[in-house]
Amino acid sequence: MAVNLVAPDNAHLYPVAGVRIGVTEAGVRKANRKDLTVVLIDEGAAVGGVFTRNRFCAAPVQVCREHLAAGQGIRAMVINTGNANAGTGDEGLVRARSTCIALARHLNISPQQVLPFSTGVIMEPLPADRIEAGLPAALADAADSHWLRAAEGIMTTDTIAKAFSVRAEVGGKTVTVTGISKGAGMIRPNMATMLGFMATDAAVAPALMQQLATELAEGSFNRVTVDGDTSTNDSFVVIATGQSGARPVTALDSADGQALKAAMLDVARKLAQAIVRDGEGATKFIEIRVSGGKTGEECRKVAYAIAHSPLVKTAFFASDPNLGRILAAVGYAGIDDLDQTKIDLYLDDVHVAVNGGRNPAYREEDGQRVMKQSEIVVHVGLGRGDATDTVWTCDFSHEYVTINADYRS
Amino acid sequence: MAVNLVAPDNAHLYPVAGVRIGVTEAGVRKANRKDLTVVLIDEGAAVGGVFTRNRFCAAPVQVCREHLAAGQGIRAMVINTGNANAGTGDEGLVRARSTCIALARHLNISPQQVLPFSTGVIMEPLPADRIEAGLPAALADAADSHWLRAAEGIMTTDTIAKAFSVRAEVGGKTVTVTGISKGAGMIRPNMATMLGFMATDAAVAPALMQQLATELAEGSFNRVTVDGDTSTNDSFVVIATGQSGARPVTALDSADGQALKAAMLDVARKLAQAIVRDGEGATKFIEIRVSGGKTGEECRKVAYAIAHSPLVKTAFFASDPNLGRILAAVGYAGIDDLDQTKIDLYLDDVHVAVNGGRNPAYREEDGQRVMKQSEIVVHVGLGRGDATDTVWTCDFSHEYVTINADYRS
């Protein structure tokens, strides 16, 4: 049961000129499932990608990195669910490359112009033959209006498809930004996990795309956590087709660059937050703001210590204003010279702790009122400087254990 | 329901000459509970202590550090349950000192010769008056045979008291080592948490005690985790009374030092493992051995990444050999130059993964057999060097969520 997240409405998902999407049922793991998606990108688009930092990365992630580095211009993506092609050794690399070769043949391009993505069961051989056999049907389905189909096609155990669009004025034209994502826990029982794809018809200098993808990920997917586990397959790809006719963005800190980045960050953040809202067993959506740090990095450490504490997360599930747990997490976050007497803690507008101790004016019923909400802001002041950071997470419920303790089915 | 942990038998808990213990009901939080323990230490004993690294440390932890640093010779400890005196600001410090002053008056010693310990609810004022009123009864109860009473007296939500004794030949005599501990999660719903106390009648040069305490903690309490949360109150104290008549240990790497340390580590490790066995909701006891690292530290990082992963822990609860989760945790443990093709994984004697992929000879039913055991050894080989490390943890069950989501009662 996702937290305040509704299914996307196709009428509000705008096509992006230069991108077509086709989806089919390839029978990767089970029959009668949309499990194969191809994304076709017109020549001249610029593409950047950000991938898992997990050293145990999946074969398709390794191939994506190689193909982006080859610099031939990405023209297509092939995405399967049902099998993650992770923990599959050299044979996994061979199979990931094989799907790229097959799609490249259909499109008369180089295999290095194809990016592969897989999500699903870990440590099982990828049925590349079934994926390759499904390509003609996926290609026949290709249309620029298929973003919602793609959002559904990349779902594994997500309960709701995740897709968002915005339009913005950039470079003298109205440009479109549309994106989709999937993921529910950082690793589902046997699913490997987060995927995000975004496209815009704005024009961006190719040299900027990697930086743009990194900055967008930093402000969105790298600020959410369900359970602190980092998947072997996490991938986020950004495409700029340039077909809006807007003048090209040649610097991210230009007015055009800022306008585009703001629009794209809006979509990226909604996509990332949707993963938390659909988090395994989530009943609450929690924003953790940390201010008053010496650096953004130390704020982030504190925010993640809170967001990852099973004790804090179970207290949110129970609507229990057991706020010593939050203070304890602040204390072990790893700031060696933290002065506990400078710490402030707020739950929404309720000032819970001041100078590291209980606020004399704090009343338990006020904390209780906020804890019962489905959306909660936790604000910690460190009293050390001017830096801030924010992460988003969910609570930790019986349902999380049920989902993750279920024998793989 | 603790995992393979039985209640201590008083007949096998040996007194330590020079240490007497008294326990009483002081009504700190609830009536009719043994909640106040005093430990009386003869003059001439050497004492060392290790305390939480949480920057949000409790008032008694701060006072312990001061009093140990004062170097006057520790002669007594005062330990209460029911209230952690954490998150209590300056007033908390005043009250912790007040209990030391009161006990010092009874014993005609300096307050700096008293160490205070508190465990229980966070962010509530310590009822120092009730503790002080209970001191005469606790002192009247003092006897060298009261280790089991003390183990019971420091319990909060532990389901079983934790106490162990060994005897060993050190310095030409048989010496005794006896210890107690408490703790069930790193922080119970509102409990702040781990306490460990050990005493020996071996003689140890006072200058060595801090190092001895640190090394013992490193090999025991710093190698266990229930949920990754670090309490505000964690304290571990080691006492050497010297009353066995054994010649003093003057270097930890001498033969006598090694013999004593081995005996003490045996007790410390049992005490630490008992906390995991009694971990919140634990149904399994898991040893995680990591070998083949370049350094012990990187082995420890990998072991803790596995031990803290909610996905790994729920898989153990489910007896599901979902071993991709363990490989994923190895991958995100923070070794930047990890080569996934060198990774081996064993469950007990079952070789699950080789060269970073599934072992062709691995059969799911073998993994399943091991996962059903109540005691499981996970062994990860990193293939990078000769260093090793081991941590101990438990699984993650519905009961954990139930315990921690319960409204404070």
Residues B255 and B289: their CA atoms lie apart, in Å, by: 28
> How much is the ipTM here?
0.73
Give pLDDT, residue B43: 96
| Residues from chain A contacting residue B192 (CB–CB below 8 Å) | 324, 328
Instruction: Using DSSP bridges, classify how beta strands B350-354 and B344-347 pair: parallel, antiparallel or unpaired.
Output: antiparallel
Q: What percent of chain B clears pLDDT 70, i.e. is strictly above it?
A: 96
Give pLDDT, residue B188: 46
The whole-number average pLDDT for the span A300-305 is: 94
Residues A79 and A66: their CA atoms lie apart, in Å, by: 17
Helix (H, G, I), strand (E, B) or coil at B203: coil
pLDDT band, very low/low/confident/very high, at A192 (cuts 50, 70, 90): low
Residues A359 and B71: their CA atoms lie apart, in Å, by: 36
Residues B343 and A384: their CA atoms lie apart, in Å, by: 42
Asked if B332 and A192 come within 8 Å (Cβ–Cβ), the reply is no
pLDDT band, very low/low/confident/very high, at B407 (cuts 50, 70, 90): very low
A323 closest CB neighbour out of B88, B123, B308: B123
| Domain B285-405 CATH superfamily | ArgJ beta chain, C-terminal domain (3.10.20.340)
Q: Are the C-beta atoms of A11 and A26 separated by less than 8 Å?
A: no
Domain ranges of chain B: 10-277, 285-405
Locus of tokens 């009123």:
B133
Average pLDDT taken over every residue of chain B: 91
pTM: 0.82
Quick one: DSSP state of residue A204? Answer: B
The whole-number average pLDDT for the span A375-392 is: 96
B354: nearest CA partner in chain A: A89
Q: Among residues A57, A178, A40, which one has the least CA distance to residue A114? A: A40
Question: For residue B140, is pLDDT > 80?
Answer: yes
Q: Are the C-beta atoms of B60 and B95 separated by less than 8 Å?
A: no
Most B CBs within 10 A among A88, A95, A188, A314, hence the mutation to make, goes to A314
| Residues from chain A contacting residue B186 (CB–CB below 8 Å) | 311
B340 closest CB neighbour out of A55, A227, A310: A55
pLDDT, tens digit (0-9, with 9 covering 90-100), for B286-315: 999 999 999 999 999 999 999 988 889 888
| Fold observed for domain A10-277 | L-amino peptidase D-ALA esterase/amidase (3.60.70)
A123 closest CB neighbour out of B232, B314, B358: B358
Higher-scoring residue by pLDDT: A21, A224:
A21
The whole-number average pLDDT for the span A193-214 is: 93
CB atoms within 10 A of CB A385: 14
pLDDT band, very low/low/confident/very high, at A188 (cuts 50, 70, 90): very low
Give pLDDT, residue A282: 87
pLDDT, tens digit (0-9, with 9 covering 90-100), for B319-349: 888 788 898 899 889 899 999 899 999 999 9
| Residues from chain B contacting residue A192 (CB–CB below 8 Å) | 324, 328
The whole-number average pLDDT for the span B362-377 is: 94
Q: Are the C-beta atoms of A230 and A55 separated by less than 8 Å?
A: no
Give pLDDT, residue A189: 43
Helix (H, G, I), strand (E, B) or coil at A237: strand
Report which residue type is found at B236: F
The neighbouring-strand residues paired with A20 are A40
| Residues from chain B contacting residue A330 (CB–CB below 8 Å) | 55-56
Asked if A229 and B332 come within 8 Å (Cβ–Cβ), the reply is yes
Helix (H, G, I), strand (E, B) or coil at A177: strand
